[in-house]
Amino acid sequence: MTRKDPEKRRECVNVRLRARYADEPLYAEEKRIRSRQYQATHKEESRLKNRRYRETHLNEIQEKDREYRKSNAEKISKKDKTYRDKNAEAIKERRRINRLANRDHVNARQRAYYAKHPVPARQYQQTYRIANDEKKKEQNRSYALKHPEVRRAASAKHRAAKRNAPLNDFTCAQWAEMQSVYEHRCAYCHRRAKGHLTQDHITPLSKSGSHTASNIVPACQKCNSKKGTGTVLISIQPLLLTIAPPQKKKTS
Ligand SMILES: [Zn+2]
């Protein structure tokens, strides 16, 4: 008999053993018990051995796994679902952490998906918007309540747009700054009116005045309505320089 290589010899032994296990169930049971005892007392060795086995038999294991999954699909999906139901929160948290850790990768994948499926992506966005419409509205409402000056600035801009103001770049931040430079006083009567000043357009919007810092001064209600769309009450020098830049959309 020629000498076999160790791999073949082991396979030979295994075949013989398997045959004996099949023939002698008692012997097989005894072997199983002893093996379990060994594993319990030699955890580290067992782990290493298992790992080595997995590494050298990867394809075989994967093939077996696939077969098992195919023939037990229903059982597995049921088990998976039970697990998901039981651990919904933990799974969500794990996914969140994963997403954060792989943000670039996730974003790239999403971009690729959107590029490939433009219509469903748009539909998804639409669905999302509709689903979150109320939430968004509520957010807007509470923001508007907290920042009335932002809303006022927006409506002033809107009024100027309706009048086709040549320049329409006056911002909420500029208005706040202008009032503080004027020490919250009316530019005409110099009375202090903190929180009650109005934006007076030196050249009125109705006469093609611009809604821009160089055409606006703070005025009290009284002086503003006295002036109306007429000429300025006293000669006035508008603020030519403000620190806050124009055309800024969001201001705090
Ligand atoms: Zn005044």
For residue 198, how far is its CA from the centre of ligand 1 (angstroms)?
10
Pairwise CA distance, residues 189 & 224, whole Å: 10
Whole-angstrom CA distances from 250 to 35, 85, 154, 217 are 70, 43, 11, 22
Please answer whether residues 168 and 214 qualify as being in contact, where contact means their C-beta atoms are separated by less than 8 angstroms: no
- SS3 for 144-193 is HHHCHHHHHHHHHHHHHHHCCCCCECCCHHHHHHHHHHCCCECCCCCCEC
**CA dihedral sign, ordered 83, 88, 93, 97:** positive
For residue 175, how far is its CA from the centre of ligand 1 (angstroms)?
17
Pairwise CA distance, residues 157 & 165, whole Å: 9
Pairwise CA distance, residues 15 & 249, whole Å: 78
For residue 77, how far is its CA from the centre of ligand 1 (angstroms)?
76
For residue 189, how far is its CA from the centre of ligand 1 (angstroms)?
4
For residue 222, how far is its CA from the centre of ligand 1 (angstroms)?
6
Please answer whether residues 188 and 233 qualify as being in contact, where contact means their C-beta atoms are separated by less than 8 angstroms: yes
- Which residue type sits at 54? R
> What does the pLDDT read at residue 232?
65
What parts of the chain have a pLDDT lower than 50?
1, 248-252
> What does the pLDDT read at residue 240?
61
Q: Which residues contact 105 (CB under 8 A, 6 or more apart)?
A: none
Q: What is the pLDDT of residues 88-102, one digit of tens each?
A: 999 999 999 998 999
Structural domains in the chain, sorted by start: 149-227 (1.10.30)
Whole-angstrom CA distances from 141 to 134, 136, 195 are 10, 9, 21
> What does the pLDDT read at residue 252?
42
For residue 238, how far is its CA from the centre of ligand 1 (angstroms)?
15
For residue 187, how far is its CA from the centre of ligand 1 (angstroms)?
7
For residue 140, how far is its CA from the centre of ligand 1 (angstroms)?
34
Which pair of structure tokens corresponds to residue 172? 């909420």
Q: What is the pLDDT of residues 207-241, one digit of tens each?
A: 999 999 999 999 999 988 887 766 666 667 766 65
Question: What dihedral angle (degrees, nearest 10) is formed by the CA atoms of 130, 134, 135, 138?
Answer: 150
For residue 220, how far is its CA from the centre of ligand 1 (angstroms)?
4
Q: What is the biggest distance separating any 2 CA atoms in the chain, rounded to whole angstroms?
A: 122
